[in-house]
Amino acid sequence: MAGEIIDGKAFAAQLREKVGVLAADFAAKAGRKAGLAVVLVGDDPASQVYVGSKGKATLAANMASFEHRLPESTSEGELLALVARLNADSTVDGILVQLPLPAHIDEQAVIAAIDPNKDVDGFHVTNAGRLAVGQSGFVPCTPLGCMMLLTDRLGDLSGLNAVVIGRSNIVGKPMAQLLLDANATVTIAHSRTKDLAEVVRRADILVAAVGRAEMVRADWIKPGATVIDVGINRLAPEPGANKGRLVGDVAFGEAREVAGAITPVPGGVGPMTIAVLLRNTLVAAHRNAG
């Protein structure tokens, strides 16, 4: 029997709805809306689309959206000056600087300049450190969204074998921390892992975040496993089409035949990221207001 499809799109819509209700309540009590500032430097088309979607979702959730679209030629100093202004602005609860930044700007320097209590992306070393030692802080949106999908489906994760493929600061490492905090037994695999298929076959929970189209095959998956696919890869276009299909890091069609449950791409993890960003912004607003 084919595994269940985990509907991240529907889950994210419900979360956005809940956050919207709570954000309206915040606005009524605080006398102002929770505010999210999103900064985009340059004109990367994918980033333009992401930033536009974040702005719309923020407004729809009864929050204020402050968009700053700066030209590619913006200097690091100018960007740091904007971050400093946003840090000091009491109507701004969350700050997100869209990555990647142009090559002439030091990403780490910009992330380090964001007030950790407004760092709704959870990328600042202070928040990475808080997560590592179990203090409350902001957790990166994508892994936190994956965690919500996992606990919704599985409940208690204690003792389960979890394998995370990928070790990025944005997904792999925080994902592993969250799973560990939930008492899973965690393995972090990556491009240099020996016998990757063998490692993955032990997973009750698999989180794939490597960025390689359909790398994980059906025969890597333990029967009944819960599979969370973070990858978003565009295949080469079919003849006659101008855009290739979007696929994950897992070969969905065949993997679904073995897995107990699996997220699709698109419509799985992707929509969770913005929903969690809104949730983090509302949390920031409560902390900053209180």
Residues comprising the binding site?
A: 166-168, 232
Catalytic status, residue 29: no
Please, which residues have CB within 8 angstroms of residue 70's CB and are 6 or more apart in sequence? Answer: 39, 40, 41, 42, 78, 79, 82
Burial class of 278 by CB neighbour count within 10 A (0 to 12, 13 to 18, 19+)? buried
Distance separating alpha carbons of residues 53 and 37, to the nearest angstrom: 13
As a whole number of angstroms, the distance between CA 132 and CA 129 comes to 5
Q: How many residues bind ligand GUN (CB under 6 A)?
A: 7
Q: Minimum distance from CB of 142 to ligand GUN (Å)?
A: 6
The binder of ligand GUN chosen from 60, 99, 154, 218 (CB under 6 A)? 99
Residue 97 Cβ vs ligand GUN, minimum distance, rounded to whole Å: 6
Q: How far apart are CA 208 and CA 262, in angstroms?
A: 11
Instruction: Evaluate whether 241 touches 257 at the Cβ level (below 8 Å).
Output: no
Q: How far is the CB of 141 from ligand GUN (least distance, A)?
A: 5
Residues 198-237 that bind ligand GUN (CB under 6 A): none
Catalytic, out of 93, 115, 119, 121: 121
When the beta carbons of 99 and 218 are compared against ligand GUN, the nearer one is 99
Q: Is 255 helix (H, G, I), strand (E, B) or coil?
A: helix
CA–CA dist 186, 194 (Å, integer)? 16
Binding-site residue set for NADP(+): 166-168, 232
Q: Which of 12, 19, 97, 128 binds ligand GUN (CB under 6 A)?
A: 97
9 is catalytic: no
Q: 6, 265 in Cβ contact below 8 A? A: no
Out of 65, 273, 280, 281, the only residue in the binding site for ligand GUN (CB under 6 A) is 273
Is 121 one of the catalytic residues? yes
Q: Which is nearer to ligand GUN, 97 or 162 (CB)?
A: 97
Catalytic residue numbers, as ranges = 54, 98, 121
Q: Which residues bind ligand GUN (CB under 6 A)?
A: 96-99, 121, 141, 273
